[in-house]
Structure formats: C-alpha cells, structure tokens
Copies of this chain bind each other. A is one copy, B any other.
Amino acid sequence: MTLEEVARVAGVSRATASRVVNGSPKVNPQARRGVERAIARLGYVPNRAARSLVTRRSDSIGVVIREPTARLFGDPYFPQLLSGISAALSPRGLQLILLMPRSREEDRRLEQYLTAGHIDGVLLASLHGNDPLPGRLDGDGIPVVVGGRPPEGVRVSFVDNDNYGGAVAAVSHLIASGRHTVATISGPLDMEAGVARLRGYREALRSAGRSLDPSLEAEGEFTQESGAQAMRALLQRHPELDAVFVASDLMAAGALQVLNAAERRVPDDVAIVGFDDSPIALMTVPPLSTVRQSIEEMGREMVRLLLESIDERDRAPRQVILVTELILRGSCGGGPMS
C-alpha cells in the first residue's frame, strides 16, 4: 500500500497525492476528494521511514528517565509524567520513545543515540547535581526541555513547579496553627526541587520571626525509607518537635511510620505536611496534608515547549512555573481525619 497506488486509483500523480496527505492548500478540491477517497478505500498509511528519510524529521521524541529503581517504583511521579507527555504527543502523531539507562555504559550509549539524529527532541526529567547531559545536547543543537530545573548556567527551556512557594505556604500554615518547633525533611540537596523546598521552609520561619536551626533540618532522598530515617534522626535531636514539613509524600509516609512507632500522635503531638499530593497522601492514617502539584500538567507543558523549540530552532529558552496549592487533611489537624 504505497502513495503510488493511491495516486493511480485517484487518477493523479504521486506528487499530488502526497500534497493531499500532507494537507497542502494548493490542491484542486476535486483532486483532493479523489485522493481522500482512494486513501480511505485502500486504507493507506504513509510509511514513516520513507517520509523521515526526506524530511529529516523522525516525528519521535525521546523521554529520558534516569533514576535509581527505588524512587522509580515507589513514587507515582514517573507514571504521571509519562501520562501527561503521552497525552500531549499522541494527538500530533508523535512517537514517545522511552529511554531508561541503568548503567554507566547505557548512559554513554544514550547520549550517542540522542545526538545521532534519531529523534526530534528530548525531554529530561528528574536531573541530579550538575548533570552535563542537558548542556551537551543543547550544544549539539538537539532541542531539549527539562522537567524541574537545568543545572546552573545551562540555558535550556524548562518546566518547574513552584516548589519554593509551596514550601512557604506549608510551613507558614504550620506556624500559624500554633506549632512551636517546626522541623523539615528535605529532598536530596543535589536536586533543585530539594533545595527550593528547603529554601521555602527557611523563608517561612524567617518571615515569622523564628530563628533557624540547622539541626531541625534532615536530608532525605525522596524515598520512603530515607524519610523514616530522617524522622528518627530528628526525633533524637529534638524530642520536643511538634511539626514537620516533609518534601515529598512518600518520605512523609515513612516519617509517619516512625512517629507511630515512637507513639507520637499525629496530628495531636506532631503535625505533618507533605509535598506532591500523590495518591500516597490518601493512603496514610491520618491522610496527609500536602502541597499539590500537577505532574501530568508538567508533562504536557514540557511537550509544548519542546515542540515550539523544534519548530523555531534558535529561539530563546523559555520557562514555565506551575502553581502549587496547599491541601489540608488530617495530618496537620486542619482537615478530615480519614
């Protein structure tokens, strides 16, 4: 089933048939109808490879997820992101190519693959530290959009949540509701999201006239186990604490377990606010107050920015910051207990 046959059936040239397929305006309506009918009758579908060969476009987008398994599986973050990306890609007929390198070796090959021209653009999520990948891809002229923030000094488009604002709102609420000793379990500090939420915590304390105490801060790595561990450390250092702002719901679930085991009642003895509003927030007892962000929307926005920078090659990088919202539930005494 080729264009040639469609053209023959419709009684036009291959060129005209091609124009109809590609929606070119300069086709006589009658010819157009003939071709459309032929396409429908024959069930013609263009050959992507042949098209790519001449257009030099693959019509596919690479989505790179390079995260250790622990986080990948515990956290609904990645399915949500993929869902948003897929929803934005599929109506445009773009393929989502999923890349999950899981070793140094695969990471090396990944970069070669991405720069080899097999894809039209790259979506990068969940970067750590000073990852050189976004900068290198950008240097090679590959359109890139980062979910979260690109490393310092790398000027590529990105979509981020208002991590800072969300943290400020959460901690301000804890203070306003009368808590005296507000601790925090931060995300990994080699990730922008981790750093920004910690900054928000500090800012809220500062602007409430509270003094900062580094021993009230413990670092986690966005896994449930690391949240539990951080909570144990905090309890030991500050048995008197009566509130914790935890930088992810998954870590908050871990912290909750530890508080339970230590026979601290939540929210009576200790109030907790998480971050993400992931489904996990509803699985805990009591349900978690949390900062809502829409990861699916983040995925959709990433696609939008990427398509823009594919279409208009050397436009300046854009950035989109998505709002976050404080959701009150039982874990901080402000909402329903189940």
Contacts and interface: CB of A to CB of B under 8 A. Distances in A.
A98 interface: yes
A74 B76 contact: yes
A260 interface: yes
Interface stretch (A81-89, A164-172, A314-322): A81-89
A212 interface: no
28 contacts: A45-B116, A48-B49, A48-B58, A49-B50, A49-B52, A49-B53, A60-B95, A60-B97, A73-B79, A82-B100, A83-B102, A86-B98, A87-B102, A90-B106, A90-B109, A96-B98, A96-B99, A97-B98, A98-B98, A224-B279, A224-B283, A254-B283, A257-B283, A257-B285, A257-B338, A261-B338, A280-B283, A283-B283
Interface of A: 45, 47-53, 58, 60, 63, 69-70, 72-74, 76, 78-80, 82-83, 86-87, 90, 95-102, 106, 109, 112, 116-118, 224-225, 253-254, 257, 260-261, 278-280, 282-283, 285, 338
Instruction: Please report whether the interface of chain A is mostly helix, strand, loop or mixed according to DSSP.
Output: helix
Given A48-B58, A63-B98, A95-B118, 13 more contacts: A47-B117, A48-B118, A49-B49, A50-B53, A70-B279, A72-B83, A73-B76, A78-B79, A87-B100, A90-B106, A97-B97, A224-B282, A261-B338
